[in-house]
Structure 1
Amino acid sequence: MATRFTRQQRLIALLLPTCLALLLLSQPTWADVKQEDRQDSQPESCYVDDLPDRLRCGAIWVPENYAKPQGKQIQIHYLILPAIKPSFEKEALLAIAGGPGQSAIDNAASFDKIFTKVRQQRDILLIDQRGTGLSNQLTCEGAGFEGGLAFNDDELDIAAETKACLAKIDADVSQYGSETALKDFEAVRQALGYQKLHLYGISYGTRMAQLYMRHYPEALATVTLDGVVPMQQSVLNIGDAIGRAIDLLIQDCQGNALCHQEFPNLKAELEQVEALLSQGPQISQTRDPLTNAPTQLTMTRAKFMGAIRMALYMPNVRALLPHAIHQAAEGNYQAIMGLYALTVNSTGIAAGMHSAVVCGEDWHRFSKDERQQIGQSYFGREMLKAFDLSCPIWHIPAADASFAAPIASNLPTLVLSGQIDPATPPSWGELAMAKLTNAKHFVAPYATHGVAYQSCANTLIAELIGSGSVDGLSQECLSKDISRNFYLNANTVEAIPQDTLSQAKLNDDQQQGARHD
């Protein structure tokens, strides 16, 4: 009999009675399990929220430290979205989540939507990377949104919070880097009997995909890197990417007649609010947008800029930013507070795993000159400061210098970049292409982060997997204008051009006639 399980909803969500949760609850802790009794579970029927299909879920045991195979064992959980008509039973698409620190299983419904065409003939495999989701999650409790409005970010003691987090984690955090996790992925593939994988990585997931290309190329058929973090690039270089995305937002508004008419001084207004908040937080009384209860709003520069940064990831939320920035410049933070509420718990990052990866693979990379360059942007400066305080406490050994070498591969590879991406700009895609000899790089002009979510790229991925070649792929469909209209106030967006309305009416009339015929 199939058992239902629900997805984690927040960074520190409690698991409700579910298929995978029941697997966890029915298993004793590692200390209570004898070595000979640790058996990998066979895939069982299960369900996830937002998907009506009967799926398959299971887990395998792996050493926490592969150098100590008889030592502590952890479980790596996976979920299979089975092919509708399984024509390729020995192949699967492995979709790798971002972060670092996001759960792939938590995002099953999104992956299913993207890969509807792929799933017609091939399984979709999701693995919760070690330290995330159900695979020995390394998370640290935090205030989240509740209480966050009144909290003064400027008073956060990062070192103390890091020590408190580390004290609660029962794991050897040095064993949660990308290359160790890759061994888990390959162990799952072998346990399930897949001869070939088609890889899809999004954001940090592209790092995992590139490492798979480096270490286990014989197991791969095709690769898609969506919003790529090239091996040569530290994720801490994201500061420049965020600044670029903000500049593009302002340019887009200036180039739009109605947005420019409504917000003619958007750049100056943004700088005005930043300057004010850099002097100290602005405190006012407001109502919680989730509960409507009276509360104090302590608007800090970190909170303001963080809300803008996260809004840039989503085209529909990005469209609200000119109005929100304009309102903030007039002393009204209600709109920006709403964006903060929308995004503060939207990432589902396991903070411990995130730090284990970044501190080992990214933080050590920078020379003094590179640090000075990164520190020229607000976001770069704040990220460096945070990791300079926390990484010495995590005490993660630095990855070998060879880790950052570009990936050399002849595997059929599709690289996707969003032109207005606030995290992984098109230049990062070009960097990833350095030694890929059988690859194409497509830039979607209207996409932010995650091109396959926002465009026809999901069809291109299906074509790549179906043909096993990039030769016939064309980026023409990516040029379709799917940009969002800007909100001119809290209720309305810019007017739709009359010719667009006329064309829509013509199309509707033609469809009505066709139905009558």
Structure 2
Amino acid sequence: MKKSIRVALTLLVALVAAGVVAHRHWHGKAAGSAQASSFHGRFIVPPGATAFAFGRLHFTACELPQTHSAATTTAFCAPFEVPENWDAPEGRKIGLRLALIASAEAADDDFLALLAGGPGQSAIDSWPQVAAAFAQLRKHRHVLLLDQRGTGGSNALTCKHDEAEDQGFDLGRIRAQTQACLAAVSAHADPRDYTTSMALRDLEAVRQALGAPQFDLVGVSYGTRVAQQYLHRYPDAVRSVVLDSAVPNEHAIGSEFARNLDDALKAHAAACTATPACKQAFGDPWAKLRELRDELRAKPAEVAYRDPRDNTRTSMRLDAYSLATLARLYAYLPETSALLPLAVAQALKGDYAPLVAQVQMLGGELEGLSDNAMQLSVICSEDADLITPQAGDADSLLGAELAEAFKAQCTIWPHGARPDDFHAPVASDKPVLILSGELDPVTPPRYGEQIVKTLPNGRLLVAKGQGHSVMGRGCFPKLVARFVDALDPHGLDAGCIADFGPTPAFIDYNGAAP
């Protein structure tokens, strides 16, 4: 069996959004062994309930599957149908997959809604990975999970790709695959209608069906775009916002991927060279990574290894572009970033298996995302015309190929409408908490610094040594819960973030230097 690193669709961005219920009288009956009760604007789901109503929505008990696991998550699910084109509501209807995770204890009148990112991730499928970060938040709050249109169980724009992708970066093949993907999804969807703006109208429709509560929005990566856009379009619906690994509205997704990855990898390399044992073991890891890139550019390698998930024998073609994609995966987390210098050093000795096998672990959860074309509907409609060549991209590790791929795909993929003010900075006096990882290879802290400039009631917290998506790290779950409770970002005691720090690079497979 061969495995490839897909070049055209995997953006590796995650989204979380949350909501709050307030100022309403909730009511409903639960079927089964218990009755749902409401008081002072609060709605309680009693133990043993198998069905109940929130507003116009009727929830029944369900089990949510977990990827690569037989385990399930107990939840309540409700059908929800919307027009595919909100501007032509008499046309095709699509079903959205909607689920509720009931509060761990008696619910307050806050309500959390989780949206997922990518663009292309399913909120429901990604919940097991983010649930721990919400543990304190959901003690007294329900969590609403809505698969964004085009993802998961919401008329997903899914395209299966053949394994010819292991032949390296090829714009002609990418165009052909995009054309085939478009033909496949057009049988059940109009790709022009799967944009962020359309998804906002879905979320607002769910809010209205629940009885028009306010929302606390928690966005991660691409999800921070969703949160900012929702805040701008429906300000009265928002109580507070948490932005984890934030993308400014002004930013075109894909325009700085190469620069941001190089910056993060160089920072990791600098930390290694500043440590005597690491410097002695690897010299300059950034130089070594580029050396490996040059070798693979001249002569790609066929790598045989055992898949660490199931021990099956497999192989893949490793070239300069796939190396950059692997390095980007490693850079997302401090723990895997710490392994990269060692993996590169082994590869330079001809042993590529450790480098590739670890990435199979990292990329396993992204298999569905790489097959999802909803991200093309987002990027081609909202960003592609704004992606321009950046100085230094050609000599960067990632190069200009990813931007070239987006451009090529978006000459084929249909474009939806983009509001004239879509890329205007968000301005609001709502309470906003922004979380950034110091070494994030996708959404660096300078993005959070840019966003907070127009948010007088906003605050940015940067976690030293951390990568992408930090809400579940260290004391952040506690801080986020306190923020959502008190709505006072400037008064939040965040001294605990001083405990964050980098993960030292492994100098061998026993770990870092003592």
Q: 1:110 maps to which residue?
A: 129
Question: Cα RMSD between the aligned structures?
Answer: 2.3
In structure 2, which of residues 459, 464, 480 is the aligned counterpart of residue 440 of structure 1?
459
Contact 1:232 1:406 in 2 (8 A): yes
Q: 2:50 maps to which residue?
A: none
Secondary structure in structure 1 of the residue aligned to 2:364: coil
In structure 1, which of residues 348, 353, 365 is the aligned counterpart of residue 374 of structure 2?
353
- Is the aligned partner of 1:223 residue 2:244? no
In 2, Cα distance between equivalents of 1:415 and 1:374: 28
| Structure 1: 4+ residue segments shifted above 6 A | 50-53
Secondary structure in structure 2 of the residue aligned to 1:451: coil
Q: 2:422 maps to which residue?
A: 403
Q: Which has the higher helix share?
A: 1
In 2, Cα distance between equivalents of 1:285 and 1:463: 49
Q: 2:345 maps to which residue?
A: 326
In 1, Cα distance between equivalents of 2:191 and 2:99: 25
Q: What TM-score comes out, normalization by structure 1 length?
A: 0.82
In structure 1, which of residues 146, 151, 163 is the aligned counterpart of residue 166 of structure 2?
151
In structure 1, which of residues 16, 39, 42 is the aligned counterpart of residue 58 of structure 2?
42
Q: Deviations over 1:180-230 (max 9, x none)?
A: 100001111121235111110000000000011101111111100000011
Contact 2:85 2:91 in 1 (8 A): yes
- Is the aligned partner of 1:475 residue 2:494? yes
In structure 2, which of residues 179, 186, 201 is the aligned counterpart of residue 163 of structure 1?
179
Q: 1:190 maps to which residue?
A: 208
Q: 2:76 maps to which residue?
A: 56
Q: Deviations over 1:357-384 (max 9, x none)?
A: 01111111145xx555655534350111
Q: How does 1:292-331 map to 2 (within 5 A)?
A: 292=311, 295-331=314-350
In 1, Cα distance between equivalents of 2:450 and 2:178: 33
Contact 1:303 1:340 in 2 (8 A): no
In 1, Cα distance between equivalents of 2:72 and 2:166: 40
Contact 1:96 1:209 in 2 (8 A): no
Secondary structure in structure 1 of the residue aligned to 2:405: helix
Secondary structure in structure 2 of the residue aligned to 1:201: strand
Q: Deviations over 1:105-160 (max 9, x none)?
A: 112223321111111111111110000111111111125xxx68x92223571000
In 1, Cα distance between equivalents of 2:445 and 2:238: 25
Contact 1:304 1:336 in 2 (8 A): no
In 2, Cα distance between equivalents of 1:82 and 1:92: 10
Note the residue ranges of structure 2 that are not aligned, 5 or more in a row.
Answer: 1-9, 11-55
Kindly tell me the number of residue pairs found equivalent between the two proteins: 450
**1:282 shift after superposition:** 2.2
**1:287 shift after superposition:** 4.7
In 2, Cα distance between equivalents of 1:293 and 1:175: 41
Bigger mean CA deviation after superposition, 343-352 or 229-238 = 343-352
Change (3 A) 1:283 1:353: same
Change (3 A) 1:365 1:458: same
In structure 1, which of residues 271, 293, 304 is the aligned counterpart of residue 290 of structure 2?
271
Change (3 A) 1:378 1:323: closer
Q: Give the counterpart letter for 2:375 in structure 1.
A: H
Q: Give the counterpart letter for 1:268 in structure 2.
A: A
Q: Deviations over 1:383-439 (max 9, x none)?
A: 111012110100314624421100010000001110011110000111111311110
Q: 2:48 maps to which residue?
A: none
In 2, Cα distance between equivalents of 1:154 and 1:72: 37
Bigger mean CA deviation after superposition, 80-89 or 150-159 = 150-159
**1:316 shift after superposition:** 1.9
**1:483 shift after superposition:** 3.4
Contact 1:240 1:380 in 2 (8 A): no
Q: 1:78 maps to which residue?
A: 98
In 1, Cα distance between equivalents of 2:125 and 2:312: 30
**1:279 shift after superposition:** 2.2
Q: How does 1:239-278 map to 2 (within 5 A)?
A: 239-278=258-297
In 2, Cα distance between equivalents of 1:280 and 1:388: 27
Q: Deviations over 1:149-179 (max 9, x none)?
A: x922235710001011111102100000101
Q: Give the counterpart letter for 2:510 in structure 1.
A: T
Secondary structure in structure 1 of the residue aligned to 2:153: coil
**1:344 shift after superposition:** 3.2
Bigger mean CA deviation after superposition, 345-354 or 317-326 = 345-354
**1:96 shift after superposition:** 2.5
Q: 2:37 maps to which residue?
A: none
Note the residue ranges of structure 1 that are not aligned, 5 or more in a row.
Answer: 1-10, 12-39, 497-517
Q: What TM-score comes out, normalization by structure 2 length?
A: 0.82
